[in-house]
Chains A and B, each alone.
Chain A
């Protein structure tokens, strides 16, 4: 059975994805806006676009500071089947932050590309903002923020904005930084730098995956069982999730 040519499973997953995103945003930002999945009827291919879709267009999420609309966050995701055709995977995601009422240039963009090229990281942050725009917003924010981070009588600096980078387990590694410096700035490198970077990155990710499994062993057990592994829990019962690690910024 299909919905307008979209297979039932795809329709359900798309609706769940949009619904989950709506609930996530509405728990964090005071807004009534909802996310909608736009799907094309095609039994052979899953392609879905998810975003705030109003009057036939994708529109950004307005963000206010002290009740005044100051920023716009474009949240848009392109989804496809994962490799097992069981779940919807993010093919591309776009999180673009713009200052309201200013020009089209974003302050910054955080994007993910599943099929990235060799020298563009699949998850990347691009900062566009001129210093003036960011410091203006930081000054506006200071007036709204509690005293703990107030910089009264000091001009805020762009360097004071902390861009989140994936927490304890999913942060970039040193090899990622070196890779960026080599391809973006042309930093001198060894002839075999690429294989060294890739090896180091892989080693890092193995370590981080092991650490992540220790943080959430039941998640690991469930995934393994779904893959056909037989997992035996400890006699004392399933190991707990390290919630502090999982929730750390």
Chain B
């Protein structure tokens, strides 16, 4: 059954930080490379997740 994952804002921020750490770069660099389509497949997944986290946090 499809699920719902509920996170607190603090948990989302922590996950966002962890994703950036895993990407090995800062947000600005990741964003710039995302916008010019220069990401690897795993970086693209990280970027898409960060975009949605930012939407949930109201930081988009």
Contacts and interface: CB of A to CB of B under 8 A. Distances in A.
A58 interface: yes
Interface stretch (A100-108, A133-141, A219-227, A236-244): A100-108
Nearest to B55: A78
A14 B56 CA distance: 13
A3 B6 contact: yes
Interface in B27-60: 37-41, 44-46, 48-49, 52-53, 55-58
Interface residues of B, number: 28
Interface stretch (A46-54, A182-190, A195-203): A46-54
Given A104-B38, A106-B37, A53 B8 contact: no
A5 B8 CA distance: 8
Contact of A58 (B52, B57, B58): B52
B40 A39 contact: no
A161 to B, nearest CB: 20
A56 B48 CA distance: 11
B4 A37 contact: yes
Given A45-B58, A57-B46, A78-B55, A36 B39 contact: no
A63 interface: no
B20 interface: no
A128 B36 CA distance: 11
A18 B2 contact: yes
B37 A103 contact: yes
B26 interface: no
A104 B5 contact: no
A37 B2 contact: yes
Interface of B: 1-9, 12, 15, 19, 37-41, 44-46, 48-49, 52-53, 55-58
18 contacts: A3-B4, A5-B8, A18-B2, A35-B2, A36-B3, A37-B5, A39-B7, A41-B7, A41-B8, A47-B55, A49-B53, A57-B48, A91-B55, A94-B48, A104-B37, A104-B44, A105-B37, A128-B37
Q: What are the 4 A-B residue pairs with the smallest beta carbon separation, nearest first? A: A4-B6, A49-B52, A18-B2, A105-B37
